[in-house]
């Protein structure tokens, strides 16, 4: 039998006898031998051809496909959650804006507090009987009804209309008397990032703004006040600046000296004199001075309560009496 084949690379006897050597390396290679013996239908040939053509085994393809869809689903979940959070914030902001617009209209609240007007207290109290006053500061977004709850937590995340909202409401400390007859009445409001509630108190850190804005207007069902701004400071929660319920005359004098000291981090108005019989309102909000985030840092504005008639229109005996 003639074993020579002109189409066989092993056409001579010696090379054929050594056919188990790899012709490219000259090294005996059993896998190469099997590859040549069994032709192109064996598993090694298939693996070799797939590898040479850049094909991947089916198992690897399945793994990659699984991880692709897993990553896609995770990314989609994050996107949907973020979109939901943004929608929630947008809706809360919209609800807050619409509620204030409605309350301003119902209450007949003017843009300029020194124009003639009469607040519709009965209509506002039908919405929330916790209403004690309305506060306004010119050239700011601060124009809000003030409520007083049974604690200092409810109105942190509930609006005047008692809807849940992270902006909350402006409220008087529940330890204070609702008629502002205490020596010092604390009024709280959030420093909301988009500029509502008490966010604009931060403007008073600017010395020019502080000097140009002398009054805080406070309206109640029994008396209106044009409160004279005494001082503004950046302080911390829990400091002596947050003392209230002071009845001792000496202690009250010490408190007045504290909030009007030139050493406070803020501003003091020297043309406003505080006597031992004078009363204050103290507006408090959070500060983002530390790492642009919420901390125990606070803004605190002190204003002297001064009864004021101004141009308030009296209708059918409703309105403040002359002080």
Domains of the chain as residue ranges with CATH:
13-52 (no CATH), 118-304 (2.40.260.10)
Quote the pLDDT of residue 321. 39
Share of the chain above pLDDT 70, in %: 76
- In whole angstroms, give the CA distance from residue 71 to residue 66: 9
- Number of neighbours of residue 141 by Cβ within 10 angstroms: 16
**pLDDT at residue 165 tops 70:** yes
- In whole angstroms, give the CA distance from residue 183 to residue 190: 23
Average pLDDT over residues 274-292: 93
**pLDDT at residue 46 tops 50:** yes
Quote the pLDDT of residue 128. 97
Contact 213, 228 (CB under 8 A): no
- In whole angstroms, give the CA distance from residue 293 to residue 289: 7
- In whole angstroms, give the CA distance from residue 86 to residue 84: 5
Q: Which residue, among 32, 29, 5, has the nearest Cα to 16 in the 3D structure? A: 5
Instruction: Quick: pLDDT tens for 4-45.
Output: 555 555 455 454 445 555 555 555 555 555 545 545 455 555
Average pLDDT over residues 91-113: 89
Q: Which residue, among 47, 24, 20, has the nearest Cα to 34 in the 3D structure? A: 20
Backbone angles phi, psi at 272, to 5 degrees: -110, 120
Three-state secondary structure string covering the chain = CCCCCCCCCCCCHHHHHCCCECCCCCCECHHHHHHHHHHHHCHHHHHHHHHHCCCCCHHHHHHHHHHHHHHHHHHHHHHHHHHHHHHHHHHHHHHHHHHHHHHHHHHCCCCCCCCCCCCCHHHHHHHCCCEEEEEECCCCCCEEEEECCCCCCHHHCECCCCCECCCCCEEECCCCCCCCCCCEEEEECCECCCCCECHHHHHHHCHHHHHHCCEEEEECCCCEEEEEEEEEEEEECCCHHHCCCCCCHHHHHHHHHHHCCCCCCEEECCCCCCCCCCCEEEEEEECCCCCCCCCCEEEEEEEECCECCCCCCCECCECCCCC
Q: Which residue, among 241, 215, 4, 234, has the nearest Cα to 112 in the 3D structure? A: 215
**pLDDT at residue 315 tops 50:** no
All residues at 6 or more sequence positions from 297 whose CB lies less than 8 Å from its CB, including other chains? 234, 235, 236, 237, 286, 287, 288, 289, 290
Average pLDDT over residues 230-239: 95
Contact 28, 34 (CB under 8 A): no
Neighbouring-strand partners of residue 266: 233
Torsion angle, alpha carbons of 97, 102, 105, 108, to 10: -90
- Number of neighbours of residue 227 by Cβ within 10 angstroms: 26
Neighbouring-strand partners of residue 170: 146
Quote the pLDDT of residue 318. 38
| Band (316; pLDDT cuts 50, 70, 90) | very low
**pLDDT at residue 322 tops 70:** no
| Band (74; pLDDT cuts 50, 70, 90) | confident
């Amino acid at each position: 039998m003639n074993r020579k084949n002109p189409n066989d690379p092993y056409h001579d006897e010696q090379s054929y006898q050594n056919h188990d050597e790899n012709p490219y390396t000259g090294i005996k290679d059993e896998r190469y031998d099997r590859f040549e013996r069994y032709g192109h239908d064996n598993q090694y040939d298939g693996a070799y051809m797939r590898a040479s053509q850049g094909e991947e085994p089916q198992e690897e393809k399945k793994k990659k496909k699984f991880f692709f869809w897993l990553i896609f689903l995770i990314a989609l979940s994050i996107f949907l959650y973020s979109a939901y959070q943004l929608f929630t914030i947008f809706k809360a902001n919209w609800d807050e804006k619409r509620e204030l617009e409605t309350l301003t209209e119902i209450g007949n609240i003017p843009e300029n507090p020194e124009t003639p007007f009469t607040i519709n207290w009965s209509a506002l109290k039908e919405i929330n009987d916790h209403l004690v006053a309305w506060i306004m500061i010119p050239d700011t977004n601060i124009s809000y009804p003030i409520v007083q709850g049974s604690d200092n937590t409810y109105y942190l995340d509930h609006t005047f209309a008692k809807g849940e909202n992270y902006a909350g409401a402006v409220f008087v400390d529940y330890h204070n008397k609702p008629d502002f007859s205490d020596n010092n009445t604390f009024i709280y409001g959030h420093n909301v990032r988009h500029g509502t509630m008490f966010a604009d108190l931060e403007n008073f850190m600017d010395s020019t703004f502080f000097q140009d804005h002398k009054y805080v207007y406070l309206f109640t069902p029994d008396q209106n006040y044009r409160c004279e701004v005494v001082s503004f400071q950046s302080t911390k929660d829990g400091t002596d600046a947050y003392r209230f319920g002071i009845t001792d005359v000496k202690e009250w004098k010490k408190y007045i000296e504290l909030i009007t000291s030139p050493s406070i981090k803020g501003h003091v108005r020297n043309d406003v004199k505080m006597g031992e019989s004078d009363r204050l309102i103290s507006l408090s909000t959070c500060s983002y001075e530390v790492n642009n985030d919420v901390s125990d840092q606070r803004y605190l504005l002190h204003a002297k309560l001064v009864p004021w008639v101004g141009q308030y229109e009296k209708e059918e005996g409703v309105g403040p009496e002359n002080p």
